[in-house]
């Protein structure tokens, strides 16, 4: 996150943690839900106590993710951080952007070679083709 030169890029990193479906906090919450179920399955007093602790951890992570959900989009709108303006040029573009830029400026090649008057190698008759000679 500290290596991001734009808030748009920082938003991308924040998505990896805060995204409601595949972010780290969502996955960690799912982990604690599963751990709570496993602890409850033991049907012991200690298991029930552990179940409640895991369930509380899962709920706390869900609440934290929901609290910060709009922060992901707010990062994008902040512009360029002041300290980064002094550092120089921004980070290089993503590889997809570089490929798109290259494809837009690359010389165009035709897909098929130009037709020629004669083939480079004369075609041989196939072995199953009838011969003009007669054999006895």
- pLDDT digits 0-9 by tens, 69-103: 888 777 767 765 565 544 455 556 677 777 787 77
pLDDT of residue 10: 77
- pLDDT digits 0-9 by tens, 118-127: 655 656 655 5
- Token reading at 61: 């992570």
- Token reading at 78: 């902040």
With bands split at pLDDT 50, 70 and 90, how would you rate the model's confidence at 56?
very high
In whole angstroms, what is the distance from residue 27 CA to residue 38 CA?
A: 17
pLDDT of residue 95: 72
- Encode burial over 84-93: b for 16+ CB neighbours within 10 A, e otherwise: eeeeeeeeee
**Spatial contact of 9 and 81, defined as CB atoms under 8 Å apart:** no
Q: Which helix (H) or strand (E) holds 65?
A: helix 45-67
Does pTM surpass 0.85?
no
């Amino acid at each position: 996150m500290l290596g991001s030169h734009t808030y748009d890029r920082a938003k991308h990193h924040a998505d990896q943690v805060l995204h409601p479906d595949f972010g780290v906090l969502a996955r960690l919450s799912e982990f604690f839900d599963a751990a709570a179920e496993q602890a409850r399955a033991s049907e012991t007093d200690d298991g029930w106590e552990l179940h409640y602790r895991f369930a509380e951890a899962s709920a706390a992570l869900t609440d934290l993710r929901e609290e910060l959900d709009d922060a992901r989009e707010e990062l994008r709108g902040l512009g360029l951080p002041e300290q980064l303006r002094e550092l120089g040029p921004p980070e290089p573009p993503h590889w997809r952007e570089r490929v798109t830029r290259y494809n837009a400026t690359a010389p165009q090649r035709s897909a098929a070679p130009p037709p020629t008057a004669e083939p480079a190698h004369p075609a041989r008759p196939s072995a199953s083709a009838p011969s003009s000679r007669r054999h006895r």
